[in-house]
Amino acid sequence: MRFKAHQIAQFLQGTVQGNPDVEVWQVCKIEEGVTGGLSFLANPKYISFIYDTQASIVLVNQDFVAEKPISATLIRVPDAYSAFTKILELYQSQWLQSKKGIEQPCFIANDVKITDGVYIGAFAYIGNNVKIGNNVKIFPHCYIGDNAVIGDNTVLYAGVKVYAHCIIGKNCILHSGCVIGSDGFGFAPQGDGSYKKIPQIGNVSIEDNVEIGANTTIDRATLGSTYIREGVKLDNLIQVAHNVEIGKYTVIAAQTGISGSTKIGKYCMIGGQVGIVGHLKIADRTQIGAQSGISNNIDEPKTAWRGSPAQPYRRQLRTEVLWRKLPEMYQELQELKNEIKKLQS
């Protein structure tokens, strides 16, 4: 679809500087601008590109001051980054809305009700008594087990697996390859050194507005539920073990592992490659730096932690300064020992 500058400005409640009738039909980066492209300038590091970009329209902050002529039409908005995000949301939603109907071949159990606006891609499997909400998009090669629930406007990209009895809320996004409801890692040691599997008969309950990255796995509970609360954002390649609870609006970066029965509070921020042992409690609004190891409860909210084993952020920084000095300190220690030997002799 084509849009004119004045139409975009009206949508974003911005003002046009330049040709109000110039048209765009694609989005692009400012440094890779093309005719018919819509771009934005938010980071000062990219200011130099705005004078040479071939993009037809560029979104800029209201307070942007040009130092030389600009060929592109500008649309001034309060926050260029947020405005461009709205454009991308509109662009993506139009594409998703175009996906409707049921492709073949696929399997859909007889008792599954499909409402208008639902899309089911080829080679999908929908089990018995599955409840699918309005406007759900299920891409090819997805599996949805018996008695699962998929809320309104949720998108399951190609290859997502949702095991039986799991619940996915409204407006969720599950990226390719993620697995919801696989068995928790539960094994009872036996007298002969072997392990006996403990049946995992719970489920996973994901609330509204959650996004889960590609190849992330969330294990079903041994009993009860593994909970992913409202607004949680999980990156790619994250492991969430059985009976974990992640509080609402918490964000977690890639390759983090959370062991069984740990409870993470609300509004937490957890960096990549963090390891959290089982049966812990992490207070609300905790921040954990990348590659940290958490082996104890964090009881005080609004604190920052880093390191393995983790310690308060500022203390860890001081520890790192000393750690870098260890070779020199060791050399000084050896010299002192030699001096003491000389004095003793």
Q: Report in angstroms the alpha-carbon separations of 317 from 224, 302, 323.
A: 40, 18, 10
Helix (H) or strand (E) holding 128, with range, is: none
Place of tokens 């957890």: 270
Q: Among residues 176, 141, 144, which one has the least CA distance to residue 163?
A: 144
Q: Which residues contact 112 (CB under 8 A, 6 or more apart)?
A: 126, 128, 129, 130, 132
Place of tokens 């030997």: 341
Of 141, 165, 175, 242, the catalytic one is 242
Q: Where are the alpha helices (DSSP H) in 43-126?
A: 80-97
End-to-end CA, the chain: 91
How far is Cα 316 from Cα 107, in angstroms, rounded to an integer?
Answer: 54
What count of other Cβ atoms lies within 10 Å of the Cβ of residue 284?
17
Check if 175 is active-site. Answer: no
What count of other Cβ atoms lies within 10 Å of the Cβ of residue 206?
30
Q: Among residues 219, 308, 311, which one has the least CA distance to residue 262?
A: 219
Cβ–Cβ under 8 Å, residues 38 and 55: yes
- Put the strands of the sheet holding 203-206 in their side by side order: 131-132, 149-150, 167-168, 203-206, 225-228, 245-246, 263-264, 281-282
Instruction: Write out the catalytic residue numbers.
Output: 242
